[in-house]
Amino acid sequence: MGEPLRIGMVGAGKISGAYLNTFEKLENVRLTAVTDLDADRAKAAADRVPGAEVVGSVAELVARPDVDAVLNLTIPAVHAEVARAALAAGKHVYGEKPLTADRADADVLLSTAEADGLRIGCAPDTVLGTGVQTARKAVDDGLIGTPVAATAFMTTAGHERWHPDPEFYYRPGGGPLLDMGPYYLSALIHLLGPVVKVTGASSRPRAEREIGSGPRAGERFTVDVPTHVTGVLEHANGVLSTLVMSFDIQAARLPRIEVYGTAGSLSVPDPNNFDGTVDLFRAGGEWETLPVSAGYVDAGRGAGLADMADAIEAGRPHRASAEVARHVLDVMLTLLDSAAEGRSLNTHSTCERPEPVKH
């Protein structure tokens, strides 16, 4: 292995802690700089990593010679802005999901990176863990026969119950689909390939929400996006996936993801986690738990960044790619467009299924 990829982190909010935990275990990436609008948060993050320094601004961070790649952990509304600044400075980018808030920004980022020989990676990288990858190997090995359908359900009463500053989840770029959909759609693409057509419906039952925890508990704020989205996705291989993403369900006993084939069914663990139990039902038999057979073991947030660092050195495509993230974004936006227009719509993009992570 060569020198570690040197990382400048933009944004030191709640999700940054998960990345910092992973950095402690990785040899091929090293955090060198941190910036945040809150200087105290930036300092707290930098203090966790020996040698990391606090930087006053994004412009200063992307200009540093000891930053090879920018880890973009900002809110969705500024994902594209930070990524553009990083690419303009000749830096690779790895960001939290969604890639951007609209297709045009995503297309510009990808074309810029390709022209300049730079990489863009994007969460979620949970799909590279043992849960989804073991399930993918079962599908690829034909254990359920030919896939014919799938379901994906994310149901919760809303993030304002636990998040102290939840408004951005209910602004453009947020909502259950754009917030949590990337986990489920990325998993479906790894399992079944890209989507060619969607049929959607959506609703916004409440115009206001109330913050449930933290110093602002009891404050109310407006809701600007659909908070219950459902739809049917037609994959290029003909599989039909049914999707429900909701901030309006108090409790449910639905599975996270299931894949149904001509010879059996597969129960896939929560795609917001890296691991979990994969259960297989073979026609005429009983449910059985499959042993771990693929995926990065004991992975955490940042596994996709480490995979990108390894891919840069090896000259191979990285798995948590901007191409997948752009397609996921397109599927989500097309689903919302379909719901608004009341008709089925074709997606605007496609992507290759990433290479599996072998065990």
Q: Per the domain annotation, does 351 fall within a domain?
A: no
Do 139 and 118 lie in one domain? The reply is no
Q: Per the domain annotation, does 273 fall within a domain?
A: yes
Do 165 and 86 lie in one domain? The reply is no
Q: What are the tens digits of pLDDT across the range 82-101?
A: 999 999 999 999 999 999 98
Last residue of a domain, one of 101, 122, 143: 122
Dihedral angle sign, alpha carbons of residues 96, 98, 99, 102: negative
- Distance of alpha carbon 33 from alpha carbon 47, whole angstroms: 11
Tokens read off for 242: 């049914």
Q: Per the domain annotation, does 68 fall within a domain?
A: yes
- What pTM, to 2 d.p., does this model score? 0.95
Q: How many domains does the chain have?
A: 2
CATH number at residue 175: 3.30.360.10
Mean pLDDT (whole number) for 252-281: 97
Do 102 and 51 lie in one domain? The reply is yes
Q: Indicate the burial class of 285 (C-beta count within 10 angstroms; 0-12, 13-18, 19 or more).
A: exposed
Query: What is the domain range of residue 20?
Result: 5-122
Do 32 and 142 lie in one domain? The reply is no
DSSP-assigned letters across all residues of 78-133: GHHHHHHHHHHTT-EEEEPSSS-SSHHHHHHHHHHHHHHT--EEES--GGGBHHHH
Choose the catalytic residue: 43, 97, 137, 358: 97
Q: What are the tens digits of pLDDT across the range 142-166?
A: 999 999 999 999 999 999 999 999 9
What values do phi and psi take at 346, rounded to 5?
Answer: -80, 145
Q: How far apart are the first and last CA of the chain?
A: 20
Q: Comparing C-alpha atoms, which of 297, 302, 269, 272 is closest to residue 183?
A: 272
What pLDDT score was predicted for residue 336? 97
Q: Per the domain annotation, does 310 fall within a domain?
A: no
Contact 246, 227 (CB under 8 A): yes
Confidence of residue 1 (pLDDT cuts 50, 70, 90): low
CB atoms within 10 A of CB 135: 32
Q: Comparing C-alpha atoms, which of 272, 81, 250 is closest to residue 181?
A: 272
- Distance of alpha carbon 47 from alpha carbon 63, whole angstroms: 21
What pLDDT score was predicted for residue 168? 86
Residues of the chain with pLDDT > 70: what percent?
100
Active site residue 97: yes
Do 258 and 340 lie in one domain? The reply is yes
Do 154 and 116 lie in one domain? The reply is no
Which of 8-12, 96-100, 115-119 is the least confident region? 96-100
Do 116 and 203 lie in one domain? The reply is no
CATH number at residue 107: 3.40.50.720
- For the chain, the average pLDDT equals 96
Last residue of a domain, one of 65, 97, 122: 122
